Amino acid sequence: MRSHRVIDTTICILLVLAAMILTAWQVPKHDTVSPIDEYVYIDYLAKVPTQLVVHRGEDTGEYARHYLSCHGVRAIGFYPESFCEHWQPSDVERMPQAGKTTADIYTPLYFAATWVMAQPLHLIGVDDLTAAGRLTGWTWLAAAAVLLYLSLRRLRVHPVVAGGLGLLLVGSLPAYWSNTYVSTDATALLAGSLMLFGVTMLLRPGAGRRARSLFVLFALLITLAKLQNLMAVAVAALLLAILAAGEAIRGERGRRMRGFVRDRRLHTAVIALVVALAGQVVWLVIRNAIAVESGAYEGAPAPLSKTALVSEIFKFFPGVAVGALDPAMVGFAARIASTLMTWVIVAGVLGLLAVARRGSSHEALALSSFVVALLAGPLLAVATTAMSGYYFDLPVRYGMSMLSFFLACAGVLFTRSIWTRFLAPGVGILSYVAMLSLSG
């Protein structure tokens, strides 16, 4: 038992170091702004000490506009040099969304935490707020990797497999785009790992009120950080509901429905979803109350057709492997990492679904991951259209919070065979090296 703890502790430390190295290596390479809304995120971050939140319809500040003008946008282009040297208020129409913010949809949770973590970096010579904010990405990534590893170990996954998949998470395109730039997506991988960890707490014998309360708290916090993180809550909740239904079906005939309705796992799942949604409703009320004018328009409108809904069904599985941009636009190393992650996701989820014992927690893990991955896209598209009045093609990065569950399926599957146990660290190392080789 002591040797196991030493191994687990050592691997967790190595995962933390891997996250630190990736971020410290890649952030200095970022000469441009990420096209994934980083401009408005930088603006939000800069305004934390003076106003904490940004308001709907608010103008972006001088710091973010100047940073965008001087650095340009990766994969899109640059502004004229005159914008950087002598930026004029009259140039505002050349700014994205005519100079209005689109980050008002987010609570200050991520930005306030990032600003606080960035302050110590000023003491060691990182004077630029954007660089400091990007460097804090390692904390979210390290926490995601460690929680994934600990969750896999609770699922009885071999430490070699768990460590390899933890490294694959760190060395993935989703991590690269989310954790080496200023991005609310930095919370996504952590959200998935945190909900997976919460599930493993509830699966342990004797799990009580404390575990259930923490599970609900996790759901609330990650959804407040970013609405799309609700997908991770949905996977975890469905997993618990499936287990409750399975036990009820195996129970005494005539009392199955009563047993299902009274199951505490079902109660916890429903409460977590309700609390998470309620948190977003409260924020929506606050956001509307503090708005200064109508918000900036974002996205390319399109009709919500049957074809669009069908395309959204297959958006996140296994699309989350590509991160934020088409890997072909980033380089050959990105294509390697995307391909490796795609293989692991598909093999893990479908493979486990095929071989897991019927009614087991492993089957519930694979089934909940697969079902939510297929339904999340269409449901989110409908919800977005209903709330905003228009539909736009959903980015695959919206589903990143489910990635830890996909990797958990792979972990359980790969640990069943000796040769697949050592395949996991090989894949993790190769993908991590590929991420280090990317030029920013």
Phi and psi at residue 266, to the nearest 5°: -65, -45
Name the pLDDT band for 381 (thresholds 50, 70, 90): confident
**379 to each of 186, 241, 309, 376, how far by Cα in Å?**
23, 19, 9, 5
In 3-state terms the chain splits into helix, strand, coil percentages (rounded to 5) of 75, 0, 25
Name the pLDDT band for 295 (thresholds 50, 70, 90): low
Question: pLDDT tens for residues 24-34?
Answer: 999 999 999 99
How many DSSP H helices and E strands does the chain contain? 20, 0
Q: What does the H/E/C string look like for 340-398?
A: HHHHHHHHHHHHHHHHCCCCCHHHHHHHHHHHHHHHHHHHHHHHHHHHHCCECCCCHHH
Q: Which of 113-117, 203-207, 326-330 has the lowest mean pLDDT?
A: 203-207
- Report pLDDT for 95: 84
The C-alpha atoms of residue 63 and residue 128 are separated, in whole angstroms, by 11
Tally of CB atoms within 10 A around 329: 10
Question: pLDDT tens for residues 93-140?
Answer: 788 888 899 999 999 999 999 999 999 999 898 999 999 999 999 999
Contact 240, 410 (CB under 8 A): no
Contact 410, 150 (CB under 8 A): no
- Report pLDDT for 37: 93
Interaxial angle between packed helices 38-51 and 109-122, expressed in degrees from 0 to 180 and rounded to the nearest 10: 80
Place of tokens 């088409």: 326
Q: Which of 135-149, 157-171, 239-253, 310-324 has the lowest mean pLDDT?
A: 239-253
3 burial via Cβ count (<10 Å: 0-12, 13-18, 19+)? exposed
Average pLDDT, rounded, for the chain: 92
Tally of CB atoms within 10 A around 420: 16
- Report pLDDT for 301: 62
What pTM was estimated for this model as a whole? 0.95
Place of tokens 């409460």: 271
- Report pLDDT for 227: 92
Q: Give the SS3 label for residue 28.
A: helix
Place of tokens 């990143």: 400
Q: Return the domain boundaries, the chain.
A: 2-31+136-437, 32-130
Contact 80, 70 (CB under 8 A): no
- Report pLDDT for 39: 96
Take residue 94 and report the two structure tokens written for it.
Answer: 């050349």
